[in-house]
């Protein structure tokens, strides 16, 4: 992985095996050099450019343990909020959804079907360290992933622009407030029709202006926080 924030979080959670830094990066982030059990190895700017997949390398890299966990571990206990990405191929979207799920207090993120690897460099950077804060699972069998969510007591909700439920309809609040697994599809084609039909509800985010649609990560943030808001309202004592 590359970048100071990602490396900082990896060190905090004991995931770093090897650390590589340039002189310039070491000067910018001296606090990272003595953290954890890994002694830094010094590399040149040219080596950093060859290791990086960004236009402007940050000059600090780490080799880390893999972070994904089995599905049963992600859904252990009594999860209340889970984000499921079905066949989401853009690593930036996957990393951002992991970050949003972390911010919303989700219990896990499940990458189902032909979804991008969460260890992809762009996904790691987009997660800004959240990859280490909550369980992340890869499950190739989408049907098995959704069945496991239902078995864990989660209501499956598909984010769908043509959904029969309106996210802002007050009547939908009791559904949102319960234990839910929000299902998100790829930017271009959305959730596969078979998955949308198998879910318990399809929920649309209303477009009040003239925008054609929301991008995937924004829609995920709106949906996850809608569940958080509905839950807080339900738990608030009557005034």
What's the pLDDT tens digit per position in 84-115? 999 999 999 999 999 999 999 999 999 999 99
**pLDDT interval class at 236 (50, 70, 90):** low
Residue located via tokens 């890994």: 38
pLDDT value of residue 35: 66
Contact (Cβ atoms closer than 8 angstroms) between residue 116 and residue 90: yes
| Complete DSSP assignment for 136-187 | EEEES-HHHHHHHHHHTTPEEEEE-TT-SEETT-GGGHHHHHSSEEEEE-BT
Parallel, antiparallel, or unpaired for β 165-166 and 155-159? unpaired
Cα angle: 188, vertex 194, 197; to 5 degrees? 105
Please tell me whether residues 92 and 43 are part of one structural domain: no
Please tell me whether residues 148 and 201 are part of one structural domain: yes
- Which residues constitute the domain of residue 15? 4-64
**Residue 220 pLDDT more than 70?**
yes
Q: Is 61 helix (H, G, I), strand (E, B) or coil?
A: strand
Cα angle: 218, vertex 181, 73; to 5 degrees? 115
Write the CA distances from 159 to 111, 184, 192, integer angstroms: 15, 6, 11
Q: In the chain, how many domains are there?
A: 2
Please tell me whether residues 86 and 8 are part of one structural domain: no
Please tell me whether residues 58 and 107 are part of one structural domain: no
Please tell me whether residues 206 and 165 are part of one structural domain: yes
**For 176-214, how does the pLDDT look when each residue is reduced to its tens digit (9 = 90+)?**
999 999 999 987 778 999 999 999 999 999 999 999 889
Please tell me whether residues 49 and 167 are part of one structural domain: no
Question: Which structure tokens are listed for 31?
Answer: 């606090």
Parallel, antiparallel, or unpaired for β 165-166 and 201-204? parallel
């Amino acid at each position: 992985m590359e970048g100071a924030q990602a490396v900082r979080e990896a060190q905090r959670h004991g995931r770093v095996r090897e650390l590589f830094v340039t002189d310039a990066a070491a000067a910018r982030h001296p606090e990272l050099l003595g953290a954890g059990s890994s002694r830094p190895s010094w590399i040149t700017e040219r080596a950093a450019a060859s290791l990086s997949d960004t236009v402007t390398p940050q000059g600090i890299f780490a080799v880390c343990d893999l972070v994904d966990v089995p599905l049963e571990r992600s859904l252990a206990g009594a999860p209340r909020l889970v984000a499921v990405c079905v066949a989401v191929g853009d690593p930036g979207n996957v990393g951002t959804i992991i970050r949003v799920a972390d911010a919303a207090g989700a219990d896990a993120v499940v990458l189902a079907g032909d979804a991008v690897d969460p260890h992809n460099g762009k996904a790691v950077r987009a997660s800004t360290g959240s990859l280490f804060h909550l369980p992340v699972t890869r499950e190739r069998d989408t049907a098995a992933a959704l069945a496991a969510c239902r078995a864990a007591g989660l209501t499956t909700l598909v984010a769908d622009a043509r959904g029969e439920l309106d996210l802002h309809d007050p009547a939908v609040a009791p559904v949102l407030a319960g234990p839910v697994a929000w299902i998100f599809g790829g930017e271009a084609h959305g959730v596969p029709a078979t998955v949308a039909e198998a879910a318990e509800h399809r929920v649309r985010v209303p477009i009040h202006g003239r925008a054609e649609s929301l991008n995937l990560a924004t829609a995920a943030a709106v949906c996850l926080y809608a569940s958080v808001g509905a839950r807080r309202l339900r738990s608030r004592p009557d005034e």
